[in-house]
Structure 1
């Protein structure tokens, strides 16, 4: 049995900056392997407040889907914590190259040797962290180098469709997911092509074609919060005749 705990459901700058929802990442545990995915602001605090506490020093590794602050802000403190300040060299970091090189690098260089290993994520490749295999999606259309993920827990596949504009190539990347977790930042499309996030209409198109056993909407911006995510998910569920729910801070999913 795998446990996925969505520590935070905030998406977009204003919801994060005002902490209208928690911006912490997602904790995943299966068969002794413990992962934090996309540790946004407040992840370490959220882990410490869980009952029982999610011990940072027991993490097997960290995965970043891209370099934006709401997905990577706490990566450095988590590295420091899981290695106990560098006293114990352990843990694996998976991240796109952009997170480690160039102007958008987010992982501090002095912390990198603390880790047992750093793996570069590339499009449509297979990886394994401890006892959890996963694969990357095609590269997303986003303002940073971004890849979604599909984890395999026994016979079940759980996809994390993270920040992106909608494009048809997404569908192939997430085929076969039993559970699909989608970052739906906007209620309606944004007129600017520079705002590269899914809206509700995009989520409906994706789910109508992929038809997972369960869909979970998360990473809400202001317009989604104003539309009330629970009501939005309920309407979408009825329309598509699928199990669609809205995530909440601290939500646990058993796989």
Structure 2
């Protein structure tokens, strides 16, 4: 069991090299939102990592699976997670939230496995979803990442959180995710690179300075980010911005009541 409102980093790997070498794990994120469990982007090894971690996660207690986009490092374990959520389909339950192109001609989740959940929700610009009583999820805009991609906001009675997933920099990100208390940023690049559709540490700084959350997390870290010491970089961002910034680590558990 996780604290009632908490964030669990099952993996913090970003970019192909870090994922396929498992320099960092690629299990995605798990939220406990007033007792509602939401698993985001289960990449390669996600189910194994969830069972191995301390605290371990019982997949049968997960209520919904969120796929931000149809890339393998975000969806690889989606089918097996749904199998585990539903006891192989014997206990039909839960929800899948995913972009249309993750459910289309080359689906991240097979039609066979989709039949195991109670509902399949298609993400889109400006959509909102009720996850549980007083818990809602919102997808304010499409990200620029080569495939249909959506970050998300989660609104609870006393706190708002956002996760800016993979994307090239867009000025509209600042408005879309404004007003949140907790900001998670997929910060894959140490330096922006032409035609690489990921955010850099400079982009993360711009987001933090503009949005000014109470706390920010850097995750989905690429090889150069790891070589540069993400904890040191996060400390520098804290000093520059005045916003507490933390470089997430595999297995990190954060109780939202701490902010």
Q: Same fold (TM over 0.5)?
A: yes
Report the counterpart of residue 125 of structure 2 in structure 1.
Answer: 123
**2:35 matches 1:32:** yes
State the TM-score, normalized to the length of structure 2.
0.94
State the TM-score, normalized to the length of structure 1.
0.96
Count residues in correspondence.
Answer: 252
Greater Cα shift, 157-166 or 28-37: 28-37
Alignment of 1:1-255 (within 5 A): 1-103=4-106, 105-131=107-133, 132-191=135-194, 193=195, 195-255=196-256
Q: Are 2:54 and 2:251, in contact at CA under 8 Å, matched by a contact in 1?
A: no
| Structure 2 unmatched ranges of 5 or more | none
Q: Are 1:215 and 1:245, in contact at CA under 8 Å, matched by a contact in 2?
A: yes
Q: Are 1:150 and 1:174, in contact at CA under 8 Å, matched by a contact in 2?
A: yes
Q: CA RMSD in A?
A: 1.1
Question: In structure 1, what is the Cα distance between the partners aligned to 2:10 and 2:28?
Answer: 6
Cα deviation for residue 51 of structure 1 reads 3.1
Q: Which whole-Å deviations, capped at 9, do the CAs of 1:120-154 have from their partners, x for residues lacking one?
A: 01112111223431111210011110010111122
Q: Which runs of 4+ in 1 moved over 2 A?
A: 50-53
Cα deviation for residue 31 of structure 1 reads 2.3
- SS at 1:233's partner residue? helix
Q: Are 1:92 and 1:129, in contact at CA under 8 Å, matched by a contact in 2?
A: no
- SS at 1:17's partner residue? helix
